[in-house]
Amino acid sequence: MIGCSCGVCTSTDPRNKRRRSSLYVVTEHKHIVIDTPPDFRDQVLSFGVKRVDAVFLTHPHADHIYGFDDVRRFSSMQEEHIPVYGQPRTIKQMRKKFDYVDRISYGFESVPRVLFTGMNQSVYLDEVRITPLPVSHGMDQIYGYLFEGDEKKLAYIPDCNGIPKETFQYLENLDVMILDGLRPDPHPTHFSINECVDHLCKINAKQSFITHLTHHSDHHDLQEQLGDVVTVPWDGLEIEL
Ligand SMILES: [Zn+2]
Ligand SMILES: [Zn+2]
Ligand SMILES: [Zn+2]
C-alpha cells in the first residue's frame, strides 16, 4: 500500500510483496493472460513471460486493465494481432480508454495490435475451452473465467461478492479454483476472507486459492489460519496440472 508502513508493507517476506491480480495460463499450444493490471510490464518481466496468444479481461476496473499498453511488445514480437476477449461492456470501455489502439500509426511497435472481441459464451483456442463466468462485483455483473482442456478444469474469479446459481453449476469437479477474498472486513464489492473460504469449501475444488489480497493479510499468518483447506498464493506461484 502506498505510504503505508504496516508489518505487511515493510515485511521482508517476498510473499508479502503483492502486485495486482493476474493469471497466465499456458497450455500445450496457447499462452493466455487474464487481465493486464498496471503491474503487467513488471509481472511479465519478473516471471519471464515471452508469449501472449490471447488476453481475457474480467472487467474494466483500473487495477485490471491499465497495463494493457504493454501488450504491444507481444504483438510486435509475434507480428500478429492478439485477440482480446471480454464482456461486450468491457470491450466497449477498452475501445474508449485505449482509443489509439489499432489506429494507423508509425509502425508495428508503437501501439498494441489487437482484435477486440466481445464474448457472451465459450470460445475455443485450439484444445482449450474458455467460458465466461458472470459474477456480482458490487452493482456490476462482471466475468470470471473457466478453462477446460485435457480433462483439466480451472476457474479464476478475482473480483466478486456474489456467485449466481447459473454460474455455480460451472464450478463442479474443478482441479483449481482461484477466488476473490479481499480482506478480513466486509467490503461492498469483494468477498471477505471468510466469505471466500465459505465459497471455496462449497465449490470443493481439488486445489483452492484465495486471491486479490491486501496488506491486511500477512502471508504466513493467513496461511496458518486457513490450514490446508485453502492455499494463500504469492506472486509468481506456478501450478502444474
Ligand atoms: Zn500496509
Ligand atoms: Zn474490480
Ligand atoms: Zn480488482
Closest ligand, as measured to the CA of 1: 1
Which of the 8 DSSP states describes residue 231? B
Residue with cell 513488471: 42
Confidence of residue 108 (pLDDT cuts 50, 70, 90): low
- Ligand 3 centroid to residue 158 C-alpha, Å: 7
Confidence of residue 156 (pLDDT cuts 50, 70, 90): very high
Residue 101: the pLDDT is: 87
- Which one-letter amino acid corresponds to residue 104? I
Q: What is the pLDDT of residues 195-213, one digit of tens each?
A: 999 999 999 999 999 999 9
- CA-to-CA separations, 193 to 107, 217, 226, in angstroms, rounded: 46, 10, 10
Please tell me the pTM assigned to this model: 0.97
- Ligand 2 centroid to residue 62 C-alpha, Å: 8
Ordered by where they begin, the domains of the chain are 21-120 (3.60.15.10), 129-232 (3.60.15.10)
- Ligand 3 centroid to residue 107 C-alpha, Å: 33
- Ligand 1 centroid to residue 81 C-alpha, Å: 40
On whether the CB atoms of residues 94 and 55 are closer than 8 A, the answer is: no
Q: What is the pLDDT of residues 64-105, one digit of tens each?
A: 999 999 999 999 999 999 999 999 999 999 999 999 886 666
Residue with cell 501488450: 71
147: number of Cβ within 10 Å: 25
202: number of Cβ within 10 Å: 10
Provide mean pLDDT across the span 2-13: 98
Residue 110: the pLDDT is: 83
d(CA 173, CA 60): 29
Q: Give yes or no for residue 177 having a pLDDT over 70.
A: yes
Query: What average pLDDT is seen over the chain?
Result: 96
d(CA 181, CA 200): 10
- 129 three-state secondary structure: strand
- 132 three-state secondary structure: strand
Could you tell me what percent of the chain has a pLDDT over 70? 97
